[in-house]
Amino acid sequence: MCVITALTAQNTQGVSAVQAIDGDFVLAQLESISADIQIDAIKIGMLANAEVIRAVSSWLNTVDAPVVLDPVMVATSGDRLLEDESALDSLLDRACVITPNLLELASLLREAAATQWPQVLEQAQRLAAKHDVLVLAKGGHLAGDFCPDALVSSTGVLAEFSSPRHQTKNTHGTGCTLSSALATIYATDGDWIQALEKSKAYLVRAIGAADQLTVGSGHGPVNHFVDFFSEADPMQEWWQQIDGLRGSIDGLEFITQLSDGTLPSADFEYYLSQDAFYLQRYAQVLAEASVLAPDLEAQRFWASSASAILEGELQLHRSYLAEGTANPSAITLNYVNHLAASKQSYGELIAAILPCYWLYQDIGKRLAAANHDQHPFEKWLSTYASEEFDLATEQAINMVRMAWKQSDGALRERMRVAFVRSSEHELAFFDQARQNRVEFSTV
């Protein structure tokens, strides 16, 4: 249920006027709802003046429900939305969770806004201690490729979740959406950390689909209906299709011994020698994807990915290996020949490219849990379990998803087949030092 506390004149360019609702009428709305309807959680947003704040505060004394307070004082656009900031202080003590943006967090502490994530967390912890609440620290307005959010108590960070930044101007309503989702999910789950994890995942999807709405010429809204009207994500369908294959990779002796550090050095060096040959060809394929790419963003991504392999990953491989180039195995040649055969179209090629990103990221996360400074393969394990590789993988997935959306049915099927076949080649590639045979599907 919703109670209106203020009316705004606004569009995607900003807020031009605010009309507060009379405090007595706000209280009448609240009392009418609570007299008839069970309230499981409360989310408070914009309260335009002290009169409205007093009305809400007096009503809160009559109900028993968890409160999420989004102290809407300054909009993302910079528009001020609260006349008297000090009037809000008494309400903060009644909340369970406070969800300020960077400017609001600073305003509540009467100090300058943070510019670095550790400073945001430190401010959030002090605000939590001051009012004996949890504070949702939000890093979406900071610079960088990732958007961190953290649930902070008076003792420190309870949980932190980070996601790659979506390149879109349509982010209107992010704070309101996150706090509303947090209250709603907590009413069901009863766990603030789980509620934040699920709320953030929903918001990431809503921002990712925001450009579909094409509303206004400024900062348009996030897509709240993303989970209701979007077609099934083909990337997740492909990922589920290779679920059994992924389990087979996890169970390989090569992977288990790589994890616990018992892999014979000869097996590791053989794998690296084949991977070094493969990566040289893979970099060429990425460069060809850049040539075929239909837009500048995709061209830059695939070109920079090719450069990163030549200047980064291959250098790491060579640090392990002696001078000289090993002859490619039949398994390695089969894989690179498959990539070469996928160059009939841009979509088919990048679908064939994708498993090398996605499977390595997936495996790398689990291997990272076993990594430590004294691990014999520490440098190699660290390469595929980093924020940079996570971001590159997410970008590659999005590139393939976009190409799929722009393709007809026949090309979509060829893309799926190319993805599955590359995944099968990855399984064979990981296991080739053991020379176990991999059964290829007919996809």
Q: From CA 86, how far away is CA 167, in angstroms rounded?
A: 36
Asked if 325 is an active-site residue, the reply is no
Q: From CA 441, how far away is CA 410, in angstroms rounded?
A: 19
State the catalytic residue, choosing from 140, 175, 220, 364.
175
State the catalytic residue, choosing from 45, 139, 140, 173.
173
Asked if 14 is an active-site residue, the reply is no
Strands 156-164 and 146-153: antiparallel
Asked if 393 is an active-site residue, the reply is no
Asked if 173 is an active-site residue, the reply is yes
> Which residue from 167, 119, 170, 176 is spatially nearest to 147, judged by alpha carbons?
167
Asked if 171 is an active-site residue, the reply is yes
State the catalytic residue, choosing from 23, 45, 140, 176.
176
State the catalytic residue, choosing from 5, 99, 174, 393.
174
Residues belonging to the active site: 138, 171, 173-176
